[in-house]
Amino acid sequence: MAVLLIAAVYITAVRILPLASSTDKKRVVVLDAGHGGSDSGKISVTGSLEKNLNLSITLELKTILEDAGYEVILTRKDEDGLYTEKDRNRKIADMKERCRIINESSADVVVSIHLNSFTDPKVNGAQVFYYKHSQDGKKLAQCIQESFRDNLNPDNKRIEKSNDSYYMLLNTKLPTVIAECGFLSNGEEAALIDTQEYRHNIAQAVFEGIENYYKKDSE
């Protein structure tokens, strides 16, 4: 009798374990570090190049996501742009390659990391953009925007903003957002962004926004 009970428990356990693992779907995120190569992006009032800061934030975010069990796909892994020396229009070639990587991926969402600039040096604050016809993109943008406010700057009154002209938003099939993580034209914010600690905080804020998106998506 004891042998039969043990056998029954064993069989039940064998049946249950595959069921639990089969319901787990790995979350896949594409991270896009804006600019690169000959395209430096904006230049900070401190002299830092946007392309380098974007990559630093992206790599920080990659580590945080992977530590949390996500699979991460990068469009740009180093300081180089995604074009060849033969390309006449390097900017367009670069953007097409980024979109190709995204559209051929198995990802759920895409986050493109950028930094902003404006003629008025008083303007500051992170802001997230999404394609105006993408409801999932809007949800993701809202979650990241809320996280920016909660974790970086409670005084940031900016809200997520729709867009129908940005190349990447127009040419990707997945929910895609462009996270402008602060203004390099604002002295105070630029000085913060120059520090590794603040770039880590930016990455952590984006991560928490992504986490909240998945939580809301499963409700």
Residues found in the chain = 219
* pLDDT, block means (10 residues), the chain with 219 residues: 41 36 75 98 99 99 99 98 94 98 98 99 98 98 99 97 98 98 99 99 99 89
The vertex-68 CA angle with 199 and 201, nearest 5°, equals 15
CA–CA separation, 182 and 185 (whole Å): 9
pLDDT at 204: 99
Domains of the chain and CATH, by start: 27-217 (3.40.630.40)
CA–CA separation, 121 and 25 (whole Å): 45
Name the nearest CA neighbour of 141 among 168, 180, 107, 115. Answer: 180
Beta bridge partners, 110, equal: 30, 176
Within a 13 Å sphere around the CA of 68, how many CA atoms are in the beta-carbon half?
Answer: 17
The residue assigned the tokens 């995604």 is 82
**Tens digit of each residue's pLDDT (9 = 90 or more) over 140-163:** 999 999 999 999 999 999 999 999
Other C-beta atoms lying within 10 Å of the C-beta of residue 108: 21
pTM: predicted TM-score of the whole model, two decimal places:
0.88
Name the nearest CA neighbour of 57 among 37, 83, 39, 35. Answer: 35
